[in-house]
Amino acid sequence: MSATILIVDDEENARRTISSFLAPKGYEVLGVATLAEAREHLQRGDADLVLLDVQLPDGYGPTLLEENNRLPHRIPIILITAYGDIEMAVDAMKNGAHDFLQKPIQLARLEQSITRAQEVIAMRRELTHLRNTQRKASMDFVTGSSESMKRLFEQARRASQASVSVLVTGETGSGKEVLARYVHSSGPRSEKPFIAVNCAAIQSTMLESELFGYEAGAFTGAEKRKPGLLEVADGGILFLDEISSMPIDIQAKLLRVLEERAFRRVGGTNLIKVDVQILAASNRPLTRMMADGAFREDLYYRLKVVDLHIPPLRERKGDILEMAGYFVRQNNMRMGMNITDITPQAVDVLRAYPWPGNVRELRNAIERAMLFCDEQVIDISHLPIEVGQTPAER
């Protein structure tokens, strides 16, 4: 991600040295010598990041921290000084400085600090974009910026256009239903029903009648005909979550639906034609269940025309900030709050945590943090205790 960096330093040689280091790396660099010039750039929103000297001809550099905190969009500021001490560093961090570096500047250390600041910039851009752009409710998701997720969503988009069967796999909480809804919203079936069924949440004796419906008198209590979810989803998408819990006999009937696009209600004789795209999801290894005889091999390969595997969050930590920003935006609207930022320290903690509960756990952690945040910035103290612990403490 490119960024515009404003260097505020009255020493021309210092500005030139830093600019010569950053420009070849793709950054746009602006240089000024006074606080007054820096204020003008900040008011116009010219910069994404500020490298700020402490001693300037027209004032004390850190006063810009307080002014920056009052701006609608706070910009990460890295203090650079030859006169700094520990007390100044602590005060600067308390007042919102992203980092604190001493002259002579170690360019490798500067680049590291800028890279961390870019993560904050990316999150803020996501917040701004999501705040200013109204998305349809059916597009209520965030793809992530990692290459693996970009490829995954491109595969999902292509699957939506072809109306083929799709098998979605991934750990619990990784976002399998979110991906299924993306397939629905991206294709020609977006205006038709999206019906989600959790196969594990329905008793096996009732799952058949829920999916296929039943005729009056088919069993005790069946007083009148009831259409099944396959009929309700006609023209749209039926999402079968936790399909690994589906009994073998119902698996056989589902296979016939996939092959013939038709089925019979429980107790019925008439063949009912439907046009339904079937999406299925599982967090259990279906290949192992096939080996044990618990899942039909023919159904597995019929479902797996397109195989979409969602990697766990611990394997794509570059997506954490974008997702955190997205959840902040969602909760701001739902909870009537105005959280605008996450501190760099909290960002480090979010990225270091392994997230065994995946995206669902991250969403809950952000919601919890916002609930206990009385300011506009989420800090480590607002996050769940386990998120802030070191590996040895967990």
Domain positions in the chain: 4-132, 139-311, 314-388
Residue located via tokens 């296929």: 212
pLDDT tens per residue across span 10-49: 999 999 999 999 999 989 999 999 999 999 998 888 898 9
Query: Does the pLDDT at position 139 exceed 80?
Result: no
pLDDT at 386: 92
CATH of region 139-311, choose from 1.10.101.10, 3.40.50.300, 3.40.190.10, 3.90.79.10: 3.40.50.300
pLDDT at 133: 43
CATH of region 314-388, choose from 3.60.15.10, 1.10.8.60, 3.40.50.300, 3.40.50.12780: 1.10.8.60
The rounded distance, in Å, linking the Cα atoms of 90 and 309 is 45
**Fold match flag (4-132 vs 314-388):** no
Six-digit token string for 287: 């290949």
pLDDT tens per residue across span 187-197: 999 989 999 99
**Strands 49-53, 77-81: pairing kind:** parallel
As beta bridge partners, residue 341 has 377
The rounded distance, in Å, linking the Cα atoms of 265 and 208 is 9
Six-digit token string for 32: 């000024």
Radius of gyration of the chain (CA): 27
pLDDT at 68: 83
| Contact (CB, 8 A) for 145 and 318 | yes
CA angle 62, 68, 69 (to 5 degrees): 105
Query: Span 97-109, mean pLDDT?
Result: 88
pTM summary value? 0.65
Give the dihedral of Cα atoms 52, 54, 56, 60; nearest 10 deg: 110
Six-digit token string for 5: 């960096």
Res. 170 pLDDT band, cuts 50 70 90: very high
| Contact (CB, 8 A) for 311 and 172 | no
Res. 160 pLDDT band, cuts 50 70 90: very high
Measured from the Cβ of residue 39, the count of other Cβ atoms closer than 10 Å reads 16
The rounded distance, in Å, linking the Cα atoms of 167 and 298 is 13
Which CATH superfamily is 4-132 part of? Response regulator (3.40.50.2300)
The enclosing H or E element of 307 equals: strand 306-309
The enclosing H or E element of 142 equals: none
Six-digit token string for 188: 């020609």
Length of the chain: 394
| Contact (CB, 8 A) for 327 and 367 | yes
Query: Does the pLDDT at position 179 exceed 60?
Result: yes
Rounded alpha-carbon distances, angstroms, from residue 372 to 12, 119, 154, 272: 45, 23, 37, 54
The rounded distance, in Å, linking the Cα atoms of 62 and 176 is 47
Query: Does the pLDDT at position 129 exceed 70?
Result: no
| Contact (CB, 8 A) for 130 and 340 | no
